[in-house]
Amino acid sequence: MTRDLFEAVADVRHSREAIADGAVLLRGFARPFESDVIAALHGIIVRAPFRRMFTPGGHQMSVAMTNCGSVGWVTDRTGYRYDGIDPNSGQPWPSMPAAFLKLAAQAAAEGGFEGFAPDACLVNCYEPAARMSLHQDKDERDFTAPIVSVSLGLPAIFLFGGPKRADKPHRYRLAHGDVVVWGGPSRLFFHGVAPLADGQHALMGRQRINLTFRKTR
Ligand code: MD3
Ligand code: FE
């Protein structure tokens, strides 16, 4: 790669690729934030450990999850919802770390969404073979705000469909440090993650962590 293919933002280089109307893939955008973000992540999982939740249909998810922010996404036999209380601890979710907010807001601005102020961050933890089936994110009240996703650790094949479940998904490899801003029409597109391939990542070990920043209200 030659340097002139990159823009200088936050004093570093990344690439940019429009992958759908309103969706921008910023490869490497999170790299300058990685040490602060990983440190903050440790603080979150001490207070709100990863857990594999159950869907309303009674299936246990292969992805382990936790949250930070004023609300967190939860699923159980009664349905999906955003809740201010971690059901495992009975306590509020850990607050959103400043390093998380900074990364999310800078990425959103880079994707054309100035002033993004997420109130929730869902943290997904994939071990080898964990996957996420095609779904839409529609439990939020405000679809005009984007969702910002940050990938850390092992690479994954992200499946990106269209507005209908039957739309054939495109496949994108998301690697450590990649950020995607999902706004506009793409905000409600079907998406999922193929079963994680085994591997070892220098900073994150044998797992993939995905942060999704959301404005839920
Ligand atoms: C496109 N997470 O948590 S991140 C999820 O890698 C989720 O853990 C996946 O889907 C993961 O809901 C994918 C990319 C992503 C997140 C939200 C989206 C893509 C999206 C919402 C709308 C459209
Ligand atoms: Fe999703």
Give the ligand with the smallest distance to the CA of 186: 1
Residues with CB under 6 A from ligand 1: 122, 124, 132, 137, 147, 149, 158, 180, 182, 186-187, 189, 191, 193, 210, 212
pTM of the model: 0.95
Residue with tokens 């495992």: 88
The one-character DSSP state at 31 is G
CB 27 within 8 A of CB 178: yes
Q: What is the tens place of the pLDDT at every residue in 9-23? A: 445 789 999 999 999
Q: What is the tens place of the pLDDT at every residue in 35-81? A: 999 999 999 999 999 999 999 999 999 999 999 999 999 999 999 99
Fold (CATH) for 17-214: Jelly Rolls (2.60.120)
Choice from 52, 80, 212 to test ligand 1 binding pocket (greatest atom count within 8 A of CB): 212
How is the chain split into domains, by residue range?
17-214
| Dist. CA 104–CA 121, nearest whole Å | 10
Give the ligand with the smallest distance to the CA of 151: 1
Q: What is the tens place of the pLDDT at every residue in 112-160? A: 999 999 999 999 999 999 999 999 999 999 899 999 999 999 999 999 9
Residue with tokens 């990938």: 151
| Dist. CA 113–CA 197, nearest whole Å | 33
Three-state DSSP at 109 gives helix
Q: Which residues contact 207 (CB under 8 A, 6 or more apart)?
A: 125, 126, 127, 153, 154, 201
| Dist. CA 87–CA 77, nearest whole Å | 13
